[in-house]
């Protein structure tokens, strides 16, 4: 079932920069989709358009189910930086989306604590952001995005600023969380290895103005563990995705 | 507490000892330059006159600072909510700031028709700008991704202000407050000089003028010491407030060892 349909979307910024030019993408409910492309290909812009943070200059973004029910699309957003409020504890940061929606304090705290538990941060409720490591801050950020139980989780290169070891752990934990909760994940990255390890499907974009040039299925079964990351199958898929990316970069 | 506290204290003691020595060795008369011991004795002897004057000046200073906080923060919030209000009013706030207070104090005194009120207005005029400009800067220095997040969850302007802009502006506001605390005292003293009020309800500036007329230079120094002490106390108290409010989360209040 289609969750979001992006059709021929273009985005021209006020300064004249054309970030997207006729990008189309289908997001299926429950899937893990990666958007792979070189820097400046409009991946982040595409996510912000899907989130409704900025309107497209041309084209449409449709949410078939929301249109049927008339509700506002329910989604979570994880930025490249943890983007936490430094004056609030980890728990208060995770509570934020619920607070802004007017959820009562008791329920808010309980749900936020549960979300922190899901990202492996039980016991860190009262910690301040400055006391947490980069990886832990990103976990808080993911907990905040998931605390409302959204259908769609949009992630904009969330682990790009982290070290390799932390990134691997977060990748594995994110997959586990996805399998357990079954939200739809759209993961923007410029890393071939990350996109192959995580996703069922990769949409490859070319550079500015961005367009989805090709799509690639990653048929490997879940749960994907360290063993998958060292398998010949993984290496072959990475080569394939790499070829797609090179092609996209040539097309620019 | 160690070097930070001891170094200035030792420096101060050395200067006081040198001062006393120069005054005694060169036999400088007290009406030209009194030594620190004479000043200290005068401070104690004239305490009955000086203490009420200190109280008057401190009252005006603190009232002006409170008014500066209220008006500065309210205006800053208003400016952040409406671009048009800011565009039309901010230049006038700058004009108020750059006009020397001594130049407009006589006008204010003539208009206000009440000495205490005019002193308060003068001190407030000097004190409110750092709070206004710093708070505006803080309200604008919000992480744009956090703003996007608030938009995503449908928070309106009001809730974005309460939960995001105001907390983000707090360190900037506190920085402005520390500057304004000292300025409010300066404003109060300068306005008193211009007003030149007599009578019972007169502040430290008047005591300095009076002592000058009477060539009671040690008393003048004693009053100066009280003004400086008041300024230092205000600064320390506001620094403490800033530390208490920010120590948990803001880099400025967190020690280097974390």
Instruction: Report ipTM (2 d.p.).
Output: 0.91
Q: What is the pLDDT of residues A133-186, one digit of tens each?
A: 999 999 999 999 999 999 999 999 999 989 999 999 999 999 999 999 989 999
Q: Do B163 and A86 touch (CB under 8 A)?
A: no
Distance from CA of A77 to the nearest CA of B (A): 8
Which pLDDT belongs to residue B198? Answer: 54
Read off the pTM.
0.88
Distance between CA atoms of residues B130 and B177, nearest Å: 7
* Interface check B4 vs A, CB under 8 A: no
On whether both B130 and B111 belong to a single domain, the answer is: yes
User: Do A85 and B150 make contact, defined as CB atoms within 8 angstroms?
Assistant: no
Instruction: Tell me which residues of chain B have a pLDDT lower than 50.
Output: 257-258
Nearest CB partner across the interface for B150, out of A72, A100, A128? A100
Considering the domain architecture, whether residues B111 and B237 belong to the same structural domain is answered as yes
Q: Is A127 an 8 Å CB contact of chain B?
A: no
| Tens-digit pLDDT profile for residues A33-78 | 999 988 877 889 999 999 999 999 999 999 887 777 766 778 999 9
The pLDDT of residue A194 is 94
The answer, for B164 touching chain A at a CB cutoff of 8 Å, is yes
A180 touches chain B (CB under 8 A): no
- Asked if residue B126 is part of any domain, the answer here is yes
| Three-class DSSP category at A57 | coil
Average pLDDT (A110-121) is 95
CATH assignment of A2-74+152-251, given 3.40.1800.10, 3.40.190.10, 3.60.9.10, 3.40.50.300?
A: 3.40.50.300
Distance of CA A67 to the CA centre of its chain: 23
Residue in A53, A100, A131 nearest the CB of B148: A53
> Does one domain contain both B143 and B182?
yes
- The H-assigned helical ranges of B82-201 are 83-98, 101-112, 115-140, 144-152, 157-160, 166-195
pLDDT at B257: 47
Domain co-membership, B24 together with B68: no
Quick check: A128 contacting B, CB < 8 Å? yes
Contact A195, A189 (CB under 8 A): yes
Using the Cβ of A135 and the Cβ atoms of chain B, whether some distance falls under 8 Å is answered with: no
B18 and B91 inside one domain:
no
Question: Which pLDDT score, from 0 to 100, does residue A60 have?
Answer: 92
Chain B environment of A99 (Cβ under 8 Å): 163
> How do residues A13-38 score in pLDDT, each as one tens digit?
988 888 899 899 999 999 999 999 88
Total domains, chain B: 2
- Cross-chain residue pair A81–B145, CB shorter than 8 Å: yes
Burial of A190 (0-12, 13-18, 19+ CB in 10 A): middle
Supply the pLDDT for residue B51. Answer: 94
Residue B258 located in a structural domain: no
Query: What is the pLDDT, as a whole number, of residue A39?
Result: 80
Q: What is the CATH number of the domain that holds B96?
A: 1.10.3720.10
Q: For position B233, what pLDDT does the model report?
A: 95
Q: Is B27 on the interface with A (CB under 8 A)?
A: no
B73/B13 same-domain check: no
- Assess if residue B119 is contained within a domain: yes
Are A100 and B163 in contact, with CB atoms under 8 Å apart?
Answer: yes
B88 CA: distance to closest CA in chain A (Å): 25
Helix axes B115-140, B101-112, angle to 10 degrees: 130
Q: Is residue B218 part of a domain?
A: yes
Residue B114 and residue B95 share a domain: yes
- Looking at the structure, do residues B6 and B95 belong to the same domain, yes or no? no
Judge if B55 and B136 occupy the same domain.
yes
What is the structure's pLDDT at B47? Answer: 93
A53 vs B152, B168, B258: nearest CB? B152
Instruction: Using CB atoms within 10 Å of the CB of residue A97, give its burial: 0 to 12 exposed, 13 to 18 middle, 19+ buried.
Output: buried
At B83 the pLDDT is 85
């Amino acid at each position: 079932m289609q969750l979001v349909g992006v059709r021929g979307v273009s985005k021209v910024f006020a300064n004249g920069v054309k970030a997207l030019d006729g990008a189309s993408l289908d997001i299926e409910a429950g899937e893990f989709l990666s958007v792979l492309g070189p820097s400046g290909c409009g991946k982040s812009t595409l996510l912000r358009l899907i989130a409704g943070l900025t309107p497209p200059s041309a084209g449409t973004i449709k949410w078939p189910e929301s249109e049927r029910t008339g509700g506002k699309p329910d989604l979570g957003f994880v930025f490249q930086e943890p983007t936490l409020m430094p004056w609030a504890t980890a728990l208060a940061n995770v509570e934020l989306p619920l607070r802004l929606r007017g959820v009562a304090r008791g329920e808010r705290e309980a749900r936020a604590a549960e979300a922190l538990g899901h990202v492996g941060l039980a016991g860190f409720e009262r910690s301040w952001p400055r006391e947490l490591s980069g990886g832990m801050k990103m976990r808080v950020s993911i907990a905040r995005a998931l605390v409302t139980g959204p259908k769609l989780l949009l992630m904009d290169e969330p682990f790009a600023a982290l070290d390799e070891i932390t990134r691997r752990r977060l990748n594995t934990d994110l997959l586990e969380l996805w399998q357990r909760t079954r939200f739809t994940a759209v993961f923007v990255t410029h890393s071939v290895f990350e996109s192959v390890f995580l996703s069922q499907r990769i949409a490859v974009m070319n550079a500015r103005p961005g367009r989805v040039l090709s799509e690639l299925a990653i048929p490997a079964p879940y749960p994907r563990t360290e063993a998958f990351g060292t398998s010949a199958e993984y290496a072959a898929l990475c080569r394939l995705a790499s070829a797609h990316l090179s092609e996209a970069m040539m097309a620019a | 507490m160690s070097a930070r506290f001891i170094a200035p204290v030792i420096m101060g003691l050395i200067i006081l000892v040198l001062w006393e020595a120069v005054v005694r060795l060169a036999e400088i008369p007290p009406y030209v330059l009194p030594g620190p011991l004479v000043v200290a004795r005068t401070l104690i002897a004239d305490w009955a006159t000086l203490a009420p004057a200190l109280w008057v000046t401190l009252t005006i200073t603190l009232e002006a600072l409170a008014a500066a906080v209220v008006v500065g923060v309210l205006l800053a919030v208003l400016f952040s909510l409406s671009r048009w209000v800011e565009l039309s009013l901010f230049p006038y706030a700058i004009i108020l700031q750059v006009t020397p207070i001594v130049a407009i104090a006589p006008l204010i005194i003539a208009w206000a028709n009440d000495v205490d009120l005019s002193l308060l207005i003068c001190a407030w005029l000097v004190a409110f700008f750092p709070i206004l400009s710093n708070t505006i800067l803080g309200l604008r220095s919000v992480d744009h991704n956090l703003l996007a997040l608030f938009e995503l969850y449908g928070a309106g302007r009001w809730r974005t202000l309460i939960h995001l802009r105001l907390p983000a502006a707090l360190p900037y506001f506190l920085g402005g407050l520390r500057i304004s605390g000292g300025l409010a005292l300066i404003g109060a003293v300068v306005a008193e000089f211009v007003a030149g009020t007599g009578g019972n309800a007169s502040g430290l500036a008047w005591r300095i003028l009076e002592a000058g007329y009477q060539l009671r230079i040690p008393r003048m120094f004693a009053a100066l010491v009280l003004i400086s002490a008041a300024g230092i106390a205000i600064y320390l108290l506001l620094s403490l407030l800033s530390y208490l409010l920010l120590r948990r989360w803001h880099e400025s209040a967190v020690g280097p060892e974390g």
